Chain A
Amino acid sequence: DVKVTQSSRYLVKRTGEKVFLECVQDMDHENMFWYRQDPGLGLRLIYFSYDVKMKEKGDIPEGYSVSREKKERFSLILESASTNQTSMYLCASSLWQGSSSYEQYFGPGTRLTVT
């Protein structure tokens, strides 16, 4: 069974704080993804990584950065948290396949509130 874990289920931070969200997967997947999910907007891709130290911007990267120093771990960083970053953050991982896409497996999510 694929297991994707996230460091916190619930997090409350103040505006301007630096926030780290951690994600770990145990299935040796090449790809890892960070999404945010907001009511009515669905899942929006923030960043993804297809290899260690490699990263690509998704659809909404502004205000975020990522780090992938080890294959199993992918971190999302909010450099200076703002209230509009209050959201559910979901990490996912998948195998890499040339021209197609394997299914993604999600972690339990981190519900972040910025006050």
Chain B
Amino acid sequence: RKEVEQDPGPFNVPEGATVAFNCTYSNSASQSFFWYRQDCRKEPKLLMSVYSSGNEDGRFTAQLNRASQYISLLIRDSKLSDSATYLCAGGMGGYNKLIFGAGTRLAVHP
């Protein structure tokens, strides 16, 4: 089993839709989690950190469920510009490494 797993998608949604991605992790000792956004042929860029109490930034909400070992990203009122691949990452301790999921592709259409 991979340490961090994501549904690769693609998720095809119309503008204005609400879409949610989950990401499961296997190491219960993981302390820190992040969501990154990656546009085609570009580098991953930090979207948001995921805190135990949840984290909201505008249309984006990230949550952590330690009991079930997953993190989620909710995007409300999707825009065409949200089309990208979303990577989740978990901190596995030991030299501050992050383990990345393979990404979930989102395509928002008019």
Contact = CB atoms under 8 A, between A and B. Distances in A.
B46 A105 contact: yes
Interface string B94-106: 0111101111000
Contacts of A97: 96
A31 B97 CA distance: 9
B10 interface: no
Contacts of B102: 40-42
Contacts, number: 61
A50 B43 contact: no
Interface stretch (B14-22, B70-78, B85-93): B85-93
A111 B41 CA distance: 9
Interface residues of B, number: 24
B31 A48 contact: no
A101 B32 contact: yes
- B interface SS class: loop
Given A40-B102, A101-B91, A108-B43, A45 B32 contact: no
Given A42-B103, A43-B87, A102 B43 contact: no
- A interface SS class: loop
B55 interface: no
Nearest to A50: B95
B31 A99 contact: yes
A40 B85 CA distance: 12
B96 A109 contact: no
Nearest to A43: B100
A106 B31 CA distance: 21
